[in-house]
Structure 1
């Protein structure tokens, strides 16, 4: 079963798990569609999933800046050394947010909502995992 967008209950859980001023790093695992699947009402030109995600990424950088978040690392996923046989990812992305609330503010912002259709059209599957440093 593919997972593209977060549920309300998962977003609520995220905010409860982190202190108000605690930074959060989001691990993004991305699998692109061969061809982006835009809705008719999106009025977007046809493209590959990677191209649709590039459209999203270009616009999302401004949204990240608005909440003082930043990409930490972006790379190509290659060999799934330990994973189920049918689990492959195309790209991995780490994004640092100043807080879980900053992430929630970004994804609920109308300007972000106006661009997220590129991400939805681009992805066949994804994972978004909130992380914090391990306390020793």
Structure 2
């Protein structure tokens, strides 16, 4: 089974090549490890944290940086069942993060405090998806 935690160089370049001066929505789908996997010398190694607990630590430590760059969560949900897609894939959590532009996203991921915080995300997840969308209008029908 192929899993994804970090973007490939090709996918990250495609992200960087898109317009940087418009609002973006980032759809996050998360599948947590039963037990977080920290590097051996990390301060949280050996605490017996679940993946979900490690992701909560990621949220607590990265949240102030996310907010400082203008990010906000515009939707969050808890997975219930797969309707269309592989039956074996069960996401534990999903949310849409909104940024004022991709520059704000880059500012966040380059921040030294964020780079320390992201270790918690890596320890927490067995698989994830991160997809960029241009925000559209809400409401109305499907078309």
- Fold conserved (TM > 0.5)? yes
TM-score normalised over the length of structure 2: 0.87
Higher Cα Rg, which structure = 2
Native 8 Å contact 1:15 1:101 kept in 2: no
The answer to whether the aligner puts 1:92 opposite 2:100 as a matched pair is: no
Tell me, which stretches of 5 or more residues in structure 1 are unaligned?
none
The equivalent residue for 2:37 is 37
The equivalent residue for 2:7 is 6
Tell me, which stretches of 5 or more residues in structure 2 are unaligned?
138-142
Native 8 Å contact 2:23 2:135 kept in 1: no
Offset, 1:61: 1.2
Q: Deviations over 1:73-116 (max 9, x none)?
A: 22211111111121110100110011112112211211100110
What is the SS of the residue equivalent to 1:52?
helix
The equivalent residue for 1:21 is 21
What is the SS of the residue equivalent to 2:41?
helix
Aligned partners of 1:94, 1:133: CA distance in 2, in Å?
11
Q: 2:122 aligns with which of 117, 120, 133?
A: 120
What is the SS of the residue equivalent to 1:42?
coil
Q: 1:55 aligns with which of 36, 54, 57?
A: 57
* Equivalent residue pairs, number: 135
TM-score normalised over the length of structure 1: 0.92
